[in-house]
Structure 1
Amino acid sequence: MTETIERDSMQYDVVIVGAGPSGLSAAIKLKQLAEKNGREISVCVVEKGSEAGAHSLAGAIIDPISLNELIPDWKEKGAPLTRTVTKDRVLFLTEKKAFNLPVTPNFDNHANYIASLGEVVRWLAEQAENLGVEIYPGFAAAEVLYHEDGSVKGIATGNMGVGKDDEPTDSFQPGMELWAQQTIFAEGCRGSLSKQIIERFQLDQNSEPQTYGLGIKEIWEVPSEKHQPGLVMHSAGWPLDSKTYGGSFIYHFDENKVAVGFVVGLDYQNPYLSPFEE
């Protein structure tokens, strides 16, 4: 921008960046604690997606242990966890064969649920709003705001209606500044503001480097005779070579639907490898 844009501001007790499982759980817990202690606090959640859950794409196996603590009556409140895992299989694949491997504890999903993370997040958003949490979808947090002493003051949402030349158009709307006593960054993997905060305050100074992977998932509808509700399969091996970390998953959930996914560690050495084509 070639000129300073005046922005309106709003004050909250807590501002949370990201309406995913972590951000919404934090919002719900804060409201629960405030109610328990006879206090009233204002909690705001900003979400860049068009709605809560829009960017929660995982077909997931969910251990309900945290949900049991956060919302003990989640079944009565209609949480979208209906398909329990009935069987685990772990396979090592070659191009033409599949070998059964032992189901080790990290692959044992007994009492867990096969679910759509997007549906779970949408449900969590409803629970948060019922407690008085303000959720603003469609607003990306674009900037971290700081006090004069260097502490975090809050965030600013991005300007709307900016042209390709980075100048305001006729539909321009300036972003909003959201100030808070506490700001929680729950952006997920490699969030743009989280990266800035980590670098500014050296939050990773005494940490091992993180490991990243690229996951690809599709939802297939299969014939009923091939559908095995509750079956969870994981595999290693083909189509990856022995030097490349990764594997696949197949989760059979409701309505003849199967989540088919493939994950490749981003430290793969072959520059021509395309995880999607694999």
Structure 2
Amino acid sequence: MRIVRTVAGMRAAVADARAKGASVGLVPTMGALHDGHLSLIRRARAENDLVVMSLFVNPTQFGPSEDLDAYPRDEARDVELAGHAGADIVFAPSVDEVYPRGFSTTVHVAGITEVLDGAHRGASHFDGVATVVTKLFQMVAPDAAYFGQKDAQQVLVIQRLVRDLDMPVRIVPCPIVREPDGLAMSSRNVYLDAAARAQATALNRALDAAEAAVAQGRTDAPAVIGAARDVLAGAGVEAEYLELRSPDDLRTLDRVDGAALLAVAARVGRARLIDNRILEAAP
């Protein structure tokens, strides 16, 4: 396993692999690896000859008041974990390598970036995501790229990006990985003290309650969202958003009729956490 820090070095490594007929899988990360990230690497390892994990804390997707400076960083640990999980290359470019002097291009995906996280983190958030992912796909030229479903809106944005720009990359959404108590794994979980950590489990329990409501035949949006909101309120958690939307285009849904995405975000202690669940009504 090796570390590559330049675009030229990354392209040379991929070209060498391609010359040998190898397929290439990419796992984009901002580091602070946890088992959720490692599950993506293991999936990529099972499906590709060469596995690249990018390690880059992307400044353009952080808002002015967000945690860019405080975001957890431990490159040595991340490299070790990535190697054990099956990565062949860790691509760890500097900010100047990704955004050289004079960089002035932004990629914007319209129609699905203005709601949920886009509405609460600012319009520039998903522009930053779309731009850096476009650049990573140009740098690595993967056959497939692996993303966690915890960031459901991000996955949809990237799928739309790839479709609209005819990028020859297969996007592979992978299941949410959870702690034993149900909390979705996130790099920001390290911000939680013991009390906040216990409180944070309310997000998954709220999704469970909504799923139970649907199973009981209560499929209208107020009932589904209300069941989830009651659990959050009981734990003293106020949702930043809690919305029922189409998993295909994020339009607002009035009821669960077929598949529906229930998405939640909340601030718990020092952490901003997100989670989601695909709900399906019985036929």
TM tier relative to shorter chain: under 0.3
**Structure with the higher fraction of residues in strand conformation:** 1
TM-score by length of 1: 0.25
**Structure with the higher fraction of residues in helix conformation:** 2
Higher relative contact order (CA 8 A, sep 6+): 1
Larger Rg: 1
TM-score by length of 2: 0.24
